[in-house]
Amino acid sequence: MKKNPHISKNVIRRLPRYLRKLDSLQANGVASISSAELGQQLGLTHSQIRQDFSCFGEFGQQGYGYSVNTLREEISNILGMTRGFNVIVIGAGNLGHALIQNFGFERYGFRLTAAFDVDPAVIGSEIAGIRVFPSDELPDYLSRNRVDIAVLVTPQDLANTVAAVLRDGGVRAIWNFTNAEIDIAAPDMLIENIHFSDSLLTLSYYLAYKQDVKPAPKTEG
């Protein structure tokens, strides 16, 4: 693997997209693909694709292209999918439930090990084979188990309180679905936010924009 003198965020954010495409190619029995073809299918230039991959190594073969299997392996490895990261979910409401049941953590190489909630109605139950523990037991659980990623799906006002418990328990990353900004002091903890509203408002912008622009189509002079 090549040295990486800081790889840009743009490149990183494209990797999961490559992975999805490769999965789909694999499912369709495609054995190899050129950067040109891959670019066409993804709406990217072949140059960009080769540049992106070359940040991490030399995965192709001149005159032939890339082996879909190999490339998928490499990318999944770069993305940490082969590390067996341990994941817990905090909050077993509808969204937590949906993630546990439908997201498919293991599909991406993660090990979902436990869920936590305050609601007596779900405590002790299992969701898709995952046990729901009382939130009280979270510190104790963390002291006895390595947790790499905590999925934060609690009500918004609990977010920072829970985040502090996670930090103190040595959790290394938070995947944050609450709309709260995690602003506790936690220099070593990684935080990735999913802001539903950012996504919907972006869509809404383009919709509004189109509405304004379409009614006045440019008439050629």
Partner DNA sequence: TAGATTGTTAATCGATTAACAATC
- By CB under 8 A, name the one of 63, 197, 219, 220 that touches a copy of itself: 197
How many other C-beta atoms are found inside a 10 Å radius of the C-beta of residue 113?
16
Q: Is 46 in the site for DNA (CB under 7 A)?
A: yes
The footprint of DNA on residues 1-20 (CB under 7 A) is 2, 8-11
From the number of C-beta atoms within 10 Å of its C-beta (0-12, 13-18, 19+), residue 217 rates as exposed
Structure tokens at 8: 């840009």
Structure tokens at 82: 């082969």
Q: How far is the CB of 64 from DNA (least distance, A)?
A: 6
Rounded Cα gap, residues 116 and 122, in angstroms: 9
Q: Is 126 in the site for a copy of itself (CB under 8 A)?
A: no
Contact indicator for 139, 78 with CB cutoff of 8 Å: no
**Partner from DNA, a copy of itself, none contacting 59, C-beta within 5 to 8 A by type:** DNA
Strands 60-61 and 65-67, sheet pairing: antiparallel
- x-or-dash pattern for DNA, window 53-92, by CB under 7 A? xx---xxxxxxxxx--------------------------
Site of interaction with a copy of itself (CB under 8 A): 12-13, 15-17, 19-20, 24, 78-81, 83, 85, 93-95, 97-99, 101-103, 108, 110, 148-149, 172-173, 175, 179, 181, 190, 192, 194-211
